[in-house]
Amino acid sequence: MELPIDYMTLRVIWWGLIGVLLVGFAIMDGYALGTLASLPFIAKTDEERRAVINTVSATWEGNQVWLILGGGAIFAAWPFVYAVSFSGFYLAMFLVLSALILRPVGFKYRSKRPGKAWRRNWDWALFVGGFVPALVFGVAVGNVLQGAPFSLDSDLRITYHDLFLGGLLGLFSPFTVLCGLTSVAMLLVQGLTWVSLKIEKGEVRDRAIRWATFAGIGVIVLYALGGLFLAFGDLGYKVLDAVAVDGPSNPTRGEVVREAGAWLVNYGKYPWMMAAPVLGFAGTALTLVALRFKADPWAFIAASLAVFGIIGSVGLSMFPIILPSSIDAHSSLLVWNASSSHSTLFTMLLVTVVFLPIVLLYTAWVYKVLFGRIEIKQLKTNPDLY
């Protein structure tokens, strides 16, 4: 049966949808990671720390849906990408999941005992639960841009090469650490603008605005340094030969070569793509302006737009490459050679058209119901607060 949408178009649609899901996770759960990563710096007393925790405690669990959706969509739409990335980055993902587990445990157990040492230790656990995922996610993006040391044989079996200590420490290089720090700064801005929006006016809000300003300046500097790395370093890959965009998926079909500066070529071929990095810089700059005037809603919206632009610039720079191999040109994964079948992508699209709006509507309703600032006095009267 001939499907109403051709294979090439479906591949591009799902490449875009995966990007939307990843950006959705970065925005919706990123502010929670950023908030917890800022906990030791913006909250001085036990009551202040409780208030900051309660700005995210009511919504963080629902926001995990975006992580699950993203992982599930990659598994179904891009099975080769899922297999290669989850195999090579296994220990890094285990580290992220271990840190994320600290978050619900910290929420539940922190206030079970009144001891200062007990609560202080859980506060640091919550900090780890926010900082480590933010750092490792950025490092992972850096490794994708840098290329992963994997190869595929004729039976499509994956082999990773030169993995130091199981591949964990091998993920860290000057460029990937820069990407990790950019991610931390970006999500700190997201989290701190959320705190300024959700907490009562006072010292904690003022500290959040002050730290968000520093983090915002850091985002601009680090993001610009990342661009200089791509422009003048030895990073970059390009597709060497013509690949049938509507042919059957076979990751060994197509050759990718390393070429310095190649990640910036798309911006010359498709000038509209410049909107993404411009949005990354402009969104952060608008955040700083909104923070200066204490326009909390606008600061959070601008920070979210910056996240969209920064993450979007990575995907647009790499298109049509998804995950390049740094050691085997024929093993690199492309939009055109690593997707599921035509019928699978079409069926998934139908399901997405039905259920993604439901998720968005439910999320909007939850935030409408929970709208309002957290007040310190509520910690003593509201039994639903941690």
Whole-angstrom distance, CA of residue 81 vs CA of residue 145: 14
Looking at the chain, the number of H-run helices and the number of E-run strands are 15, 6
Predicted confidence at residue 147, as pLDDT, reads 87
Predicted confidence at residue 72, as pLDDT, reads 87
Mean pLDDT, rounded, of the chain? 89
Q: What is the mean pLDDT of residues 219-230?
A: 95
pLDDT band at 141, cuts 50/70/90? very high
pLDDT for 322-349, tens place per residue?
999 888 878 889 998 889 999 999 999 9
Find the distance separating the first CA and the last CA of the chain, reported in whole Å. 56
Position 2 in a domain:
no
The b-or-e profile of 275-293 (16+ CB within 10 A means b, else e) is ebbebbbebbbbbbebbee
Per cent of the chain over pLDDT 70 is 97
Look at residues 217, 183, 211, 148 and name the one whose alpha carbon lies nearest to residue 314: 183
Look at residues 36, 22, 113 and name the one whose alpha carbon lies nearest to residue 308: 22
Q: Looking at 72-198, which runs of residues are DSSP E strands?
A: 150-152, 158-160
Position 243 in a domain:
yes
Expressed as residue numbers, the domain containing 346 is: 7-381
pLDDT band at 207, cuts 50/70/90? very high
- Partners of 257 in the beta sheet? 238
Q: Pick the residue with more confidence: 375 or 351? A: 351
Predicted confidence at residue 168, as pLDDT, reads 63
145 close to 318: Cβ distance less than 8 angstroms: yes
**pTM of the entire predicted model:** 0.92
Q: What is the mean pLDDT of residues 364-384?
A: 82
Q: Output the furthest CA–CA distance in the chain (Å, rounded).
A: 67
Position 386 in a domain:
no
Position 195 in a domain:
yes
Q: Find all residues with CB under 8 Å of 361, minimum gap 6, and list them.
A: none
Whole-angstrom distance, CA of residue 157 vs CA of residue 167: 18
Secondary structure element (H or E) that encloses residue 19, with its range: helix 7-28
Predicted confidence (pLDDT) at residue 129 exceeds the cutoff of 90: yes
* Three-state DSSP class for residue 158: strand
Q: Looking at the chain, which runs of residues are DSSP E strands?
A: 150-152, 158-160, 237-239, 256-258, 321-323, 333-334
Position 265 in a domain:
yes
17 close to 105: Cβ distance less than 8 angstroms: no
pLDDT band at 166, cuts 50/70/90? very low
Look at residues 56, 52, 51, 50 and name the one whose alpha carbon lies nearest to residue 38: 52
Structure-token match 């490792």, residue found: 136
* Three-state DSSP class for residue 256: strand
pLDDT for 273-292, tens place per residue?
999 999 999 999 999 999 99
Predicted confidence at residue 172, as pLDDT, reads 83
Position 227 in a domain:
yes
Total number of domains constituting the chain? 1
Share of the chain residues as helix, strand and coil, in percent rounded to the nearest 5: 70, 5, 25
Predicted confidence (pLDDT) at residue 1 exceeds the cutoff of 80: no
For residue 380 the two structure tokens come to 């003593």
For residue 218 the two structure tokens come to 């850091």
Predicted confidence (pLDDT) at residue 252 exceeds the cutoff of 80: no
For residue 261 the two structure tokens come to 């500066």
Position 321 in a domain:
yes
Position 198 in a domain:
yes
